Amino acid sequence: MQALAIAAAGMTAAANRLTASAERAAAASARDGDVDPVREAVERVTAKTDFEANVAVAKTADRMTGALLDLKV
Protein backbone atom coordinates (compact mmCIF):
# COMPACT_ATOMS: atom_id res chain seq x y z
CA MET A 1 0.00 0.00 0.00
CA GLN A 2 1.39 3.38 -1.02
CA ALA A 3 0.36 5.17 2.20
CA LEU A 4 2.54 2.84 4.27
CA ALA A 5 5.54 3.46 2.03
CA ILE A 6 5.04 7.22 2.23
CA ALA A 7 4.67 7.06 6.02
CA ALA A 8 7.81 4.93 6.32
CA ALA A 9 9.77 7.40 4.19
CA GLY A 10 8.47 10.25 6.34
CA MET A 11 9.49 8.48 9.54
CA THR A 12 12.97 7.87 8.14
CA ALA A 13 13.33 11.51 7.09
CA ALA A 14 12.18 12.74 10.52
CA ALA A 15 14.56 10.37 12.31
CA ASN A 16 17.43 11.57 10.12
CA ARG A 17 16.59 15.22 10.89
CA LEU A 18 16.49 14.46 14.61
CA THR A 19 19.85 12.70 14.46
CA ALA A 20 21.45 15.50 12.44
CA SER A 21 20.18 18.13 14.88
CA ALA A 22 21.45 16.20 17.89
CA GLU A 23 24.85 15.76 16.24
CA ARG A 24 25.08 19.48 15.43
CA ALA A 25 24.19 20.40 19.01
CA ALA A 26 26.72 17.94 20.44
CA ALA A 27 29.48 19.13 18.12
CA ALA A 28 28.73 22.76 18.92
CA SER A 29 28.99 22.24 22.66
CA ALA A 30 32.29 20.44 22.20
CA ARG A 31 33.86 23.38 20.32
CA ASP A 32 32.11 26.39 21.88
CA GLY A 33 29.74 26.12 18.94
CA ASP A 34 28.42 28.33 16.29
CA VAL A 35 25.09 26.50 16.36
CA ASP A 36 21.94 28.22 17.62
CA PRO A 37 20.66 26.00 20.45
CA VAL A 38 17.12 27.39 20.16
CA ARG A 39 16.97 26.57 16.45
CA GLU A 40 18.22 23.04 17.13
CA ALA A 41 15.65 22.55 19.90
CA VAL A 42 12.89 23.65 17.54
CA GLU A 43 14.25 21.32 14.84
CA ARG A 44 14.16 18.36 17.24
CA VAL A 45 10.59 19.12 18.34
CA THR A 46 9.50 19.54 14.71
CA ALA A 47 11.17 16.28 13.69
CA LYS A 48 9.46 14.48 16.59
CA THR A 49 6.07 15.90 15.58
CA ASP A 50 6.66 14.92 11.94
CA PHE A 51 7.58 11.39 13.04
CA GLU A 52 4.43 11.10 15.15
CA ALA A 53 2.27 12.34 12.26
CA ASN A 54 3.74 9.70 9.97
CA VAL A 55 3.13 7.02 12.60
CA ALA A 56 -0.53 8.10 12.66
CA VAL A 57 -0.70 7.78 8.87
CA ALA A 58 0.80 4.28 9.04
CA LYS A 59 -1.65 3.21 11.75
CA THR A 60 -4.60 4.58 9.78
CA ALA A 61 -3.45 2.82 6.61
CA ASP A 62 -3.08 -0.41 8.58
CA ARG A 63 -6.60 -0.10 10.00
CA MET A 64 -8.00 0.66 6.54
CA THR A 65 -6.26 -2.38 5.08
CA GLY A 66 -7.64 -4.52 7.89
CA ALA A 67 -11.15 -3.19 7.28
CA LEU A 68 -10.89 -3.96 3.57
CA LEU A 69 -9.68 -7.48 4.25
CA ASP A 70 -12.53 -8.03 6.71
CA LEU A 71 -15.01 -7.00 3.99
CA LYS A 72 -13.59 -9.49 1.51
CA VAL A 73 -13.69 -12.43 3.93
In this prediction, residues 4-31 reach a mean pLDDT of: 91
Mean pLDDT, all residues of the chain: 90
The domain tally of the chain equals 1
**CA-to-CA distance for 8 and 54, rounded, in angstroms?**
7
Domain coverage including residue 62: 2-72
Residue 33 has pLDDT above 70, yes or no: no
pLDDT of residue 22: 92
**CA-to-CA distance for 69 and 14, rounded, in angstroms?**
30
In this prediction, residues 28-56 reach a mean pLDDT of: 89
Compute the half-sphere exposure of residue 25: CA atoms within 13 Å on the CB side of its CA: 14
